[in-house]
Amino acid sequence: MARAFAKIAFTPGVRAAQARMGSRDAYRSAEVGEAEVAELGPGEMEFIAARDSFYQGTVGENGWPYVQHRGGPTGFLKVLGPQTIGYADFSGNRQYISVGNLDGNDRVSLILMDYPAQRRLKIWGRVRLVEEDAEPALVARLESPHYRARVERGVIITVEAFDWNCPKYITPRFTEREIVDRDRGRQQASSEPAQPAPGAEEIGSGALKLVVTGIRQLTPGVRAYELRTAGGEKLPFAAAGAHLAMPVRLPDGVVVTRQYSLSTHPRRRDTYEIAVLREPEGRGGSAAIHATWQIGTRLAVEPPENQFLLHDDERPAVLIAGGIGITPIKAMAQELKARGTPLALHYSGGTAADMAYREELVAEFGRQLQLYVTRAAGGLRMDLHSIMRAAPSDALFYICGPGRLIQGAIDAARELGVPAGRVQYESFE
Q: Where are the domains of the chain?
A: 37-165, 196-301, 317-427
pLDDT of residue 144: 84
pLDDT of residue 22: 83
73 has a pLDDT exceeding 70: yes
pLDDT of residue 319: 98
pLDDT of residue 11: 93
For 37-165, CATH number?
2.30.110.10
Top-level CATH class of 317-427?
Answer: alpha beta
122 has a pLDDT exceeding 50: yes
The mean pLDDT value for 276-280 works out to: 90
pLDDT, tens only, 209-239:
999 999 999 998 999 999 999 888 999 999 9
- Residue percentage of the chain with pLDDT more than 90: 64
pLDDT, tens only, 149-197:
778 899 999 999 998 776 667 787 777 776 776 666 555 544 544 444 4
Task: Tell me if the pTM is above 0.85.
Answer: no
The mean pLDDT value for 256-272 works out to: 94
Least confident window among 225-229, 273-277, 376-380 = 376-380
pLDDT, tens only, 334-349:
999 999 999 999 999 9
Q: CA 46, CA 336: separation in Å to the nearest integer?
A: 32
- Fold designation for 196-301: Elongation Factor Tu (Ef-tu); domain 3 (2.40.30)
